[in-house]
Structure 1
Amino acid sequence: MSCILRIDGIDFRVDDFIKSTDLKPYRIYRKGDKIKIGKKKIQDSNGCSFDLSETGFKDFEQQKKDVIEYLNKNFLQLNTVYSFGLKNDENPTIDFGIENLMMDFWCQTEYLDPKLLKLVGNLNFGIEISLYRPNPLDIENMELETDKKT
C-alpha cells in the first residue's frame, strides 16, 4: 500500500457510508475501539482507509495514475462522504507514500498535475506526501554497483 485514502471524523457514520457504496476499505475503526499502535489507547473518531495504489514507493508517476483512475471510477460514491456526518474541516486525505530521494539529491520536487488536483479539489479532499527512507538493502546494492563502476 503505497497510496491510501483516509476518511476520519468524530461524528462520521462510517458504517452507513460503507453500506451505501460498493467501496471496500482495508480498515474500518469506530470511536471507542482499542488502538494497538501509537500513544492513544482508545480511538476517538470513526473512519476507514482505502488502498488506492499498490505500486511501489519508487513509482510516484504510477501512483498518481492509479489514484486518478480510482477517483474517476468512484467519484459519485466518494462525493457523498460529507453527507455521513463529516464536518467541513474533517477532510478525507489521500496519502502518497514515496521514496525519499534526499540522500541522493539536494532537492526533491514532485509534480501534481491539474487533472489530479481538480478531482481531489472537487471532492474537497486533501493530499499528503509521505517520504520514506529507502530500503537499506537498496542503498547497499546501489553502493555495490557504484563500486563496480570505479
Structure 2
Amino acid sequence: MSCVLRITGSDFDVDKFMIEAKFEASDNITVSKKGEFINALKKRKRIHNGIGVIVSNAPFLNFEKQEADAIAYLNKYKSAFIKLKNYDIDGWRGLDFGVDTFPENRFYREYILSIELIKLCAECGLEIYMSNYFSRKEKRRKKRVGRLFKKKKSFSR
C-alpha cells in the first residue's frame, strides 16, 4: 500500500462521516474506534477514532501513478472530504504517500507535487505526507553508496 488516506481524531465521528461520504464497497477502508485494542498481546488501546483508505497500490518507485490515483480518488469523493472541515479533528487528516528514497542509479530523489493535487488537498483540508522507504535492493545500494563516502584513515608519523 503506497498511498493511504488517514483521518483520525479523538472526537471524530467516524460513523457519521462514513454515512455522509457514501464510500463504495470496493473501496479498501479500515475503520478504527477509540478504546479498541490495537494489539491484543500488549493490551494497548486506540486513543482516536479514524479511517484509513488505500488510495493507490502503485509501487513506491511510481510516485506519478500514486499521485494520479490520489487525484482521481479525491475528485470522486470531493464533496465528502470538503465536509471534513466541519469536523473537529485533532489527529491525522491527510494523504500519506509511501515513496522510494533512493531509486535506481541515483543518489537522491525529488518529488514534485502537481498543482492539481495541492489544490484538491487544500480544498478538502487535507495535509500531504511523504513517507520514505527502502526496499532490500535499496538497502544494499545504500550500503554500497555508504562505502563510497567512508572516511579514509589517515596515518601520521
**What TM-score, normalized to structure 1?**
0.80
Corresponding residue SS for 1:20: helix
The structural deviation recorded for 1:107 is 2.5
| Matches of 1:103 and 1:36, distance apart in 2 | 37
| Pairing 1:96-135 to 2, within 5 Å after superposition | 96-101=97-102, 104-135=105-136
The structural deviation recorded for 1:113 is 1.2
| Matches of 1:29 and 1:91, distance apart in 2 | 13
Corresponding residue of 1:70: 73
Gaps of 5+ in 2: 145-157
**Residues 16 and 84 in structure 1, CA contact (< 8 A), matched pair in contact too:** no
Corresponding residue of 1:2: 2
Corresponding residue of 1:43: 46
More divergent stretch after superposition (91-100 vs 6-15): 91-100
Amino acid at match of 2:95: I
Gaps of 5+ in 1: 144-150
**Number of positions where the alignment pairs a residue of Structure 1 with one of Structure 2:** 138
| Matches of 1:48 and 1:62, distance apart in 2 | 23
Q: What per-residue deviation string (whole Å, max 9, x for no partner) do you get for residues 98-135 of structure 1?
A: 11217853322110011110110111110111111123
Corresponding residue SS for 1:70: helix
Corresponding residue of 1:54: 57
More divergent stretch after superposition (17-26 vs 48-57): 17-26
Q: What per-residue deviation string (whole Å, max 9, x for no partner) do you get for residues 13-61 of structure 1?
A: 0011112222245211111010129x88110110001111111111101
| Pairing 1:80-95 to 2, within 5 Å after superposition | 80-86=83-89, 90=91, 92-95=93-96
Say what the alpha-carbon RMSD is for the aligned residues: 2.7
